[in-house]
Amino acid sequence: MSTTTTLMLELRGLNKSFQLHQQQGARLDVLRGLDLQLHAGECVVLSGPSGAGKSSLLRVIYANYRPSRGAVRVRHQDRWLDLAKATPHEVLDVRRHTLGYVSQFLRVIPRVPALDIVAEPLVELGLDMQQARRRAAYLLDRLNVPERLWQLPPGTFSGGEQQRVNIARGLIVPRPILLLDEPTASLDADNRAIVAELLAEARGAGSAVLGIFHDEDMRDRVATRLFPMQALEAA
Amino acid sequence: MSALLQVRQLSLHYGQRVGCEDVSFDLHPGELLCIVGESGSGKSTLLNAVAAQLTPAAGSVRYRQRNGEWLELAALSEADRRRLAREEWGFVTQNPRDGLRLNVSAGANVAERLMALGMRHYSQLRQLASHWLERVEIDPSRIDDAPTSFSGGMQQRLQIARTLVTQPRLVFMDEPTAGLDVSVQARILDLLRRLVNELGLAAVMVTHDLAVARLLAARTMVMQRGRVVETGLTDQILDDPQHPYTQLLVSSVLTT
């Protein structure tokens, strides 16, 4: 990357271990001394075998997991914030405006139709419901989710349909940093290509993307750089 | 953003037994905070102490009222506390029969809290009551029926309408979905979720159900033996619990 691009995310000396009190206090080390920089407009893909801590890393950055040591520095509305030390209210504000996360699985909310699940993050930012639904409809349409499904709760949708609803929800707010944990695992080649297009558009608009893609074709299509990871040796 | 409610070192004892001990937290406007823990962990005691239904032994609860002024609850007269409960707060009990008046109609149950605020115009009261019955998905044609003729789920929705009709700024809820069928629960949770968002309510909710916390609350407090053992973002607490007791709670649930 050129030195003129804006640094968006910086990890310094990141450690993560789990202390399992129900298993005689066993300790699981998943990340140790990890450093990473992510700039606006780039797409860094985490690579490495399963068990290397890729998903855990994304969860630590999203503040879903608490780091054991180190800093998760995020550029949030022109100031820097360390999520490892931020208050819950600060983390929520960063998630609303700056940091998006799309997992493999849609968290279905009973009785809420697909269109509203997608629109919700925009409504939370204060946008009018009608406008938010229009934007949601646009994304669902682009992702080939049939219109007859939009008014239904996605609990009974296929895995691929749920995944596309989840991607639409994750991308509806144009956030400066996007974390993607295999968001295309259950999609066919055509729909993967559409997701690749949407990600290219997000990057073009200045978003920084950090993701996990096991599919090699998808990885080659979206990655500007790979970040290799390895499982830690048992201590 | 400035807090709406500040709880500091709050303790309450039942004789020798601890109800809650040394509890502190802030609640911000528009925020729903869940208190989780098993039966006897002090959740409801804490809720009632914060809502001035029980008198704490030590500590303080401060509330910032509509006009921006901070009130120290312990320093208020009984009349002032009742005024607050009437004008700015709401309380939803686990058993709707505790929160409703069973001998008057559904419509009167909803209208009663408005009348307590001084609204007297009959047709306006009736119209508002009807609107709120619809909002909680009760057929407005049931407006003159007594709540005793309603199912448990309908009674709970009626209690929610009765509580929210005055547009309270702060609502306390004690296990509002416990004791209801799962399908009825889902409907009430969806309703609460929508109303909390639409009205921008701040709420403290006690639940033993971690899935309810995940669905409704951005922040969660975990209690054990009257003390808060862990507090933070709900998804952090459920996905990366730190305290042995929280780990036990989370690992005991089939799915959250």
Task: Examine residue B93 and state whether it is found in any structural domain, yes or no.
Answer: no
Sheet of A69-76, strands arranged across:
A26-39, A7-20, A69-76, A79-82
Task: Examine residue B156 and state whether it is found in any structural domain, yes or no.
Answer: yes
pLDDT single digits (tens) A56-113:
999 999 999 999 999 999 999 989 999 999 999 999 999 999 999 999 889 888 889 9
My answer on whether B172 and B161 are in the same domain is no
Domain limit, last residue, from B111, B142, B167: B167
Task: Examine residue B221 and state whether it is found in any structural domain, yes or no.
Answer: yes
My answer on whether B175 and B163 are in the same domain is no
Contacts of B183 (CB under 8 A, 6+ apart): none
What's the structural domain count of chain B?
2
Given this model, what pLDDT does residue A4 score?
A: 64
My answer on whether B71 and B184 are in the same domain is yes
My answer on whether B74 and B135 are in the same domain is no
Domain limit, last residue, from B110, B135, B167: B167
Q: Which residue among B1, B186, B236 sits closest to A63, beta carbon to beta carbon?
A: B236
Per the DSSP assignment, residues forming a β-bridge with B206 are B35, B174
| A18 chain-B contacts, CB cut-off 8 A | 240
User: Which domains, ranges and CATH numbers included, belong to chain A?
Assistant: 41-66+89-228 (3.40.50.300)
My answer on whether B68 and B123 are in the same domain is no
Q: Give the range of the structural domain holding residue B125, as residue numbers without chain letter.
A: 101-167
Task: Examine residue B94 and state whether it is found in any structural domain, yes or no.
Answer: no
d(C-alpha B210, C-alpha B60), whole Å = 28
Q: Which residue among B197, B239, B247 sits closest to A65, beta carbon to beta carbon?
A: B239
My answer on whether B56 and B108 are in the same domain is no
Domain limit, last residue, from B167, B189, B215: B167
Question: Token match 């002090």: residue?
Answer: B42
pLDDT single digits (tens) A166-223:
999 999 999 999 999 999 999 999 999 999 999 999 999 999 999 999 999 999 999 9
My answer on whether B65 and B163 are in the same domain is no
My answer on whether B36 and B56 are in the same domain is yes
d(C-alpha B34, C-alpha B252), whole Å = 18
My answer on whether B185 and B83 are in the same domain is yes
My answer on whether B28 and B118 are in the same domain is no
My answer on whether B49 and B141 are in the same domain is no
Question: How does DSSP classify residue A231?
Answer: P
The tens-digit pLDDT sequence of chain B (256 residues) is: 589 999 999 999 999 899 999 999 999 998 999 999 988 899 999 999 999 999 999 999 999 999 999 999 999 999 999 999 999 999 999 999 999 999 999 999 999 999 999 999 999 999 999 999 999 999 999 999 999 999 999 999 999 999 999 999 999 999 998 878 888 888 888 888 888 888 889 999 999 999 899 999 999 999 999 999 999 999 999 999 999 999 999 998 866 4
Tell me the residue type at A132: A
Q: What is the CATH number of the domain that holds B245?
A: 3.40.50.300
Structure tokens at A172: 């509806």
Task: Examine residue B212 and state whether it is found in any structural domain, yes or no.
Answer: yes
Cβ atoms of A203 and A41 closer than 8 Å? yes
Structure tokens at A131: 């406008």
The answer to whether the Cβ–Cβ distance between B187 and A111 falls below 8 Å is: yes
Contacts of A75 (CB under 8 A, 6+ apart): A6, A7, A8, A9, A98, A176
Find the residue in B nearest to A108 (Cα). B215
The answer to whether the Cβ–Cβ distance between A110 and B190 falls below 8 Å is: yes
d(C-alpha A133, C-alpha A127), whole Å = 10
Structure tokens at A188: 């066919």
Determine if the pTM surpasses 0.90. yes
Closest CA to A154 of B58, A229, A143, A79: A143
Task: Examine residue B256 and state whether it is found in any structural domain, yes or no.
Answer: no
The answer to whether the Cβ–Cβ distance between B244 and A89 falls below 8 Å is: no
My answer on whether B202 and B189 are in the same domain is yes
| A89 chain-B contacts, CB cut-off 8 A | 1, 28
Structure tokens at A45: 């893909």
d(C-alpha A100, C-alpha B227), whole Å = 34
Task: Examine residue B146 and state whether it is found in any structural domain, yes or no.
Answer: yes
Task: Examine residue B201 and state whether it is found in any structural domain, yes or no.
Answer: yes
A192 Cα distance to chain centroid: 16
